[in-house]
Amino acid sequence: MKKQPSTDARAPHLIELRLWRQFVAVAEELHFSRAAQRLNMTQPPLTQAIAQLEAALGLRLFDRTKRSVQLTAAGAALVPEARDLLARAAALPVFARASADGEAGRLRLAFVSTVGFDVLPRWVRAFREQHPKVQLELIEATGDVQLEALGRGEIDAGFILHSPGFAPPGLACQLIAREALVVALPGQNALAASDTLALKDLLEQPLVIFPRRILPSLYDAIFAMYHAAGHLPRVAQEAIQMQTIVNLVSAGIGVAWVPDSVRQFQRSGVVYREPRLANKGKGQAVPGCETSLVWAAGVASPALLRFMAFAPG
Amino acid sequence: MKKQPSTDARAPHLIELRLWRQFVAVAEELHFSRAAQRLNMTQPPLTQAIAQLEAALGLRLFDRTKRSVQLTAAGAALVPEARDLLARAAALPVFARASADGEAGRLRLAFVSTVGFDVLPRWVRAFREQHPKVQLELIEATGDVQLEALGRGEIDAGFILHSPGFAPPGLACQLIAREALVVALPGQNALAASDTLALKDLLEQPLVIFPRRILPSLYDAIFAMYHAAGHLPRVAQEAIQMQTIVNLVSAGIGVAWVPDSVRQFQRSGVVYREPRLANKGKGQAVPGCETSLVWAAGVASPALLRFMAFAPG
DNA sequence: TAAAAATACTCCATAGGTATTTTAT
DNA sequence: ATAAAATACCTATGGAGTATTTTTA
């Protein structure tokens, strides 16, 4: 025996848009035949449709006196609501297509504090102008927090600091900016007095440094630099935020190698210097640091692709 | 030959709620079979329905890899929108029933200035508390403007001044308040000096009066009162708003018989008095004036009935 | 090989059609 | 007499069913 379509499968008392469309047409024409014409149908099924709608609602929408049709109070109240519903339904396909090609949608972007000063604001402003229907959510977070959030799908992409060559597994990565490291010195440190600074002057200074766990290549590059000069750096303190590193330097805890953009943190008691390396000529240079946009590999949304197309020159 | 249902009659590219419901179910389960179960249907027609929706939109909503189902960017963007649409559609019947019994809806009420001071504010406040979903629109207007607006269906009801016994044609009418007339005197008028005032003192004073066109019975009652005392009143000026009448009295144009509630207009240069009639004992009294709520006969909306139920004792 | 989506078909519920009746102006 | 809504009945589209195949983890 064949099971017949279970009646409540079809619609658990959900009134279809068809009925609302027909209702609005009759309400606007106050005339079943004309409304039917407008709907490209004949009058009898329209009469039935309205009857069906009234039955579903359990109330009369029109006062029909064979010769004239008038809205009841409930009917009149429903007209604007029904119209609104239909307008929203009609807008969905448009919105869908806009979402598909990245014109609309939501982008949750995380960023580390250093890009928050210059790169990101300009980028975001330009993007917003061009794509007003994309809703941008910006969250400041450290690199490790961002990577976890990406893994859980809580953000669409993140701006992180990383050193050249480091490729997080499972993530796609686009270079945004490359910058040299500079040294942050406590203002009261004797070295801050002179305008120029050589690597050899720094070798004995205690270091405030980014944890290796987060940015191994930066950590290693700094160690390699000291090593080449015959020294093992003395780490006074690790800190995971540039803000904190600068604060620690300001407190005189030590000196720190930080990306150039950290200079934006104008903090009294801290001076920044570009040190000369002793053997620059021989090809050894101050190590650099890169800011990249990372996202879960293979799931770049159209909106994200649009966003990346705005990458500053 | 029988005409077959014209294809665009059924729906001019309007995607029915059924498809959105099914889409949301699949998006939530990310599993066609489970989603079908939740929808009380089988898997194959659900697969077809999603295919149909995707065809209508012209884009993919799910990445299906036989073994796993994932939302595309467009699909993910659509989920909250579709959910919202469904929620609104589900709310319509509830709203309809609320409108039918007056729990929700819109009430456009006009009122003359005199009720705006005391009666109306208390009434409206009490009603709003009990029926928060009824949207009240209050418009101050003179009686004649209100009657025209009622005729054109621009307001649902109006508070007007009228004299006992006057019944506007085609309108239903409910008495709200009955009040006696008092006399408004210019402050510099000699009569204002004494606390008491008799009708005979007023007979020679020029009158500022409401036009007969608007409120014939009030006009006639005043004339009858003067007549009984053997005088024909001298009309200095007609004015259609109580505000204006009081202003004219203040300017010394004349005295005026106004409803008691007009005393609320505290205007310097105007005093109010309750005159003694010479022959009070014989049954002649100062004429009165009524405030009534009027509405188009036979079309009191449920919300209006609710409103009237709040008439102050 | 098992689980899940896709495909192929069958069927009937119903939206919409035509013909006719009713009723108020 | 006429115009318009209601009623009666018919048709066929398509949504949902069952059975089966395909695919990949």
What is the Cα–Cα distance from B313 to B311, expressed in whole angstroms?
A: 6
What is the Cα–Cα distance from B211 to B208, expressed in whole angstroms?
A: 9
As given in the structure block, the two tokens for residue B52 are 């149909």
24-83 of chain B touching strand D, CB 7 A cut-off: 36, 40-42, 44-45, 48-49, 52, 65-68
Q: Give the pLDDT of residue B2.
A: 42
pLDDT at B193 over 90: no
Q: Which nucleotide is nearest to A68 (CA to C1')?
A: D4
pLDDT at B215 over 90: no
As given in the structure block, the two tokens for residue B87 are 């929620």
As given in the structure block, the two tokens for residue A248 are 């620690």
Tens-place pLDDT, residues A236-287: 999 988 889 999 999 999 999 999 889 888 888 899 998 877 554 455 677 8
Estimate to the nearest angstrom the gap between the alpha carbon of B131 and the chain centroid. 13
Looking at domain A14-100, its CATH architecture is Orthogonal Bundle (1.10)
Q: Do A18 and B11 touch (CB under 8 A)?
A: yes
Q: Give the pLDDT of residue B1.
A: 39
Q: Give the pLDDT of residue A108.
A: 95
Torsion angle of the four alpha carbons B163, B168, B174, B176, in this order, in degrees rounded to the nearest 10: -30
Q: Give the pLDDT of residue A165.
A: 64
Phi/psi at A221 (nearest 5 deg)? Answer: -65, -40
Percentage with pLDDT > 70 across chain A: 91
- Quick one: pLDDT band at residue A7, thresholds 50, 70, 90? very low
Q: What average pLDDT does this structure show over A5-11?
A: 48
CATH 3.40.190.10 location in chain A: 105-176+292-308, 178-288
Percentage with pLDDT > 90 across chain B: 41
CATH 1.10.10.10 location in chain B: 13-100
DSSP A210-257: --TTT-HHHHHHHHHHHHHTT----EEEE-SSHHHHHHHHHTTS-BEE
Q: Do B14 and A90 touch (CB under 8 A)?
A: yes
pLDDT at B25 over 80: yes
H/E stretch holding B122 reads: helix B119-130
Q: Give the pLDDT of residue A4.
A: 52
Q: Give the pLDDT of residue B279.
A: 56
CATH 1.10.10.10 location in chain A: 14-100
Query: What's the angle, vertex CA A187, arms to CA A186 and CA A188, rounded to 5?
Result: 95
A33 touches strand D (CB under 7 A): yes
Longest Cα–Cα distance in chain B: 104
Q: How far is CA B222 from CA A262, A275, B73, B286, in A?
A: 89, 103, 78, 9
What is the Cα–Cα distance from A173 to A178, expressed in whole angstroms?
A: 14
Q: What average pLDDT does this structure show over B44-51?
A: 91
Looking at domain B178-288, its CATH architecture is 3-Layer(aba) Sandwich (3.40)
Q: Give the pLDDT of residue B46.
A: 93
Q: Do B17 and A21 touch (CB under 8 A)?
A: no
- Quick one: pLDDT band at residue A23, thresholds 50, 70, 90? very high
Looking at domain B13-100, its CATH architecture is Orthogonal Bundle (1.10)
Phi/psi at B276 (nearest 5 deg)? Answer: -80, 135
Q: What average pLDDT does this structure show over B35-62?
A: 90
Least confident stretch, A224-228, B167-171, B172-176, B292-296:
B167-171
- Quick one: pLDDT band at residue B127, thresholds 50, 70, 90? very high
- Which residue's structure tokens are 């869908």? A96
What is the Cα–Cα distance from A109 to B186, expressed in whole angstroms?
A: 74
Domain A105-176+292-308's class? alpha beta
Q: Average pLDDT, whole number, for chain A?
A: 86
